[in-house]
Chain A
Amino acid sequence: MANSTFSAPTDRAYDRDTHLWVKKDTTTGRLIVGIDALMLDTFGDLAYIQLPEVGTPIRRGDAIGSLEAAKMTSEIIAPVSGILIGVNEAVLQDPMKVNQDPYESGWLFAVDGTDWENERQHLVHDPAEIAAWMQAEAERMNAQQNLDA
């Protein structure tokens, strides 16, 4: 019977639907985007990631890339709007690095945000709320998987 718990650092914000996280780099102001541990658990080891070219304008809610793990493909939905200003070269070379270190070296891409303060309000961003949200999501996942078992 599954009974998973997942970490969720409180120094960033999380998209409720896609489980992508967004962290503002306080030095450069750029927004770093990655996948949280719960969603990675549903995928398993990532085999492929597709992202747009650096310089591409992106809009929150749009499908901007794809990934594949265990014969399941899924779109990557932009959690914020802006200009894509970088992709993680280490992850490009080895997608499983995302699984190994989702919150630090396994980040996906960086964005020069154009509406961050507004869009942040649509994400789970209150440190006091993040842990409770992730716990509720994990319980929802566990309940579903126990139901399916």
Chain B
Amino acid sequence: MTWRLITEDGVSAAYGLAADEAVTQRVGRDLSPQTVRLYTYRSHCALVGRFQTVENEVHLDYCRRHGIEVNRRPTGGGAIIMGADQLGVALMLARSDRTAYGRAREIMAQFSRGLLWALNELGIRAAFRRKNDLEVDCRKIAGLGLYRHPQGGLLFHASLLVDLDIPLMLRVLKTPFEKISDKQIRTVAERMTTVRRELGRAIEVAEVREAVARGFARAFELELTPGTFDADERQAIRELETRKYRNPEWIFQTADVPEAEGRAVLKTDGGLLDVRVSLAGRTIKAAYIRGDFFANEQAITDLEAHLRWHSSDPAAVRETVSRVYHQHRHDWSLISLSSLCEAIEQAIEHGAHHLNQSGEQPYGCFVTPARYHA
């Protein structure tokens, strides 16, 4: 089996996203070959997930002042920054019998194998974990997303962190914290890692890209043939770029899903727990557990990751917290399961209270014109 390999650098956000979607559509209709595209964006751009609201995720004033493009991915998940040191990975495939009925998580696990091969070859032991990310010792090194095109194409997206400017990321993306501090930067650094950090050397993006190409070839036992987009593909990309990815109605569509932050500070026998959650309707977008207590940092980040994109239903939250807590029972020191549950539930209740005060129901649906579907 052969896949086409396309490499590009310094692309705009609109072009980069339009190329992935337009070619995926064509692959689904058997008009283009199955393709793996390994590319970088022009530094920097901010890409929100399919259903996120830009204003809630991105500091737009900062982006405008610094020429940072903002756009919306067709794939799900959270907001990211992309640039010369973040390798974009797009698999544009036909939905075969092997993927037509695959569970989302299983499809992502399957396609992430190429990245795991590559990281392993470079000397990094990463794993597919939790909310569909690749991690090294509980630190995220790559985010994954998936989009099933109605005409049969399947787009697997990944952003592999070769390096990351955390202070810049915190200036571009919104977090529940009021200000950017050294402590906040340390907090993020404890939850994310990069290829350069793991290797302890300034490896070039090109070297990582070559390893990723070899990784996909080996993981899927196929040959990658270097190529470029043909004239028909370039035309399809231009059309989609103009109609969708340069259209403010697509980029800045607003969700009816109300969002809110919740916080709880709880004094416990084991120390002070300070929990913050970001809610989108009844879904927990993110959870941050801080305070003044002793615990293994990996136990904290593991729990935070399990709560990301999780139902805020109290019973479901308790079940997950209990399960993850017991996996790290000895890492929580004097913090009890009951106090941890109580703090998280209070933070969720606080956020839900804000949702109710806004006078809106926590909708999980919003409406945009159907013309933005490719």
Contact = CB atoms under 8 A, between A and B. Distances in A.
Most buried by A among B74, B102, B105, B365: B365
B367 A50 contact: yes
A74 B51 CA distance: 12
A63 B153 CA distance: 14
A51 B146 CA distance: 20
B104 A48 contact: no
A65 B370 contact: yes
Given A68-B50, A72-B147, A93 B103 contact: no
Contact of A145 (B102, B257, B280, B368): B102
Interface in A21-55: 38, 41-53
B364 A72 contact: no
A71 B108 contact: yes
A114 interface: no
Given A53-B367, A93-B363, A145-B103, A72 B309 contact: no
Given A70-B105, A75-B373, A49 B146 contact: no
A63 B148 CA distance: 12
Contacts, number: 142
B50 A148 contact: no
Contact of B104 (A72, A87, A95, A148): A72
B145 A63 contact: no
B365 A91 contact: yes
A92 interface: yes
B102 A148 contact: yes
B361 A73 contact: no
B361 A93 contact: yes
A73 B291 CA distance: 35
A63 B105 contact: no
Report, as a range, how many residues of chain B touch the other chain: 35 or more
Contact of A56 (B76, B98, B309, B370): B370
Interface in B86-118: 97-108, 110
Given A48-B364, A93-B364, A148-B110, A71 B102 contact: no
Given A64-B370, A96-B311, A70 B106 contact: no
Interface string A60-88: 00111110111111110100000000010
B255 to A, nearest CB: 8
- Output the residue of B75, B99, B366, B367 with the most chain A CB within 10 A: B367
Contact of A144 (B97, B146, B149, B361): B97
A131 interface: no
A72 B366 contact: no
Contacts of B75: 71-73
A140 interface: yes
A74 B283 contact: no
Contacts of B283: 47
Interface in B222-259: 255-257
A72 B107 contact: yes
Given A47-B364, A48-B364, A63-B370, A73 B50 contact: yes
B309 A71 contact: yes
A96 B74 CA distance: 21
A46 B364 contact: yes
Nearest to A52: B370
B108 A95 contact: no
B200 interface: no
A11 interface: no
Contacts of B97: 140, 144
Given A71-B146, A75-B148, A96 B282 contact: yes
A4 B255 CA distance: 35
B262 interface: no
A36 to B, nearest CB: 12
B132 interface: yes
Q: Which 5 A-B pairs have the closest CB atoms?
A: A72-B104, A95-B364, A92-B365, A63-B373, A141-B101
Interface of A: 38, 41-53, 56, 62-66, 68-75, 77, 87, 91-96, 137, 140-141, 144-145, 147-148
18 contacts: A47-B309, A48-B365, A49-B364, A51-B367, A52-B367, A69-B76, A69-B104, A71-B104, A71-B146, A72-B75, A72-B76, A72-B108, A73-B51, A73-B74, A75-B149, A91-B364, A137-B101, A140-B101
Given A72-B108, A145-B103, 5 more contacts: A47-B76, A49-B365, A72-B148, A75-B148, A92-B365
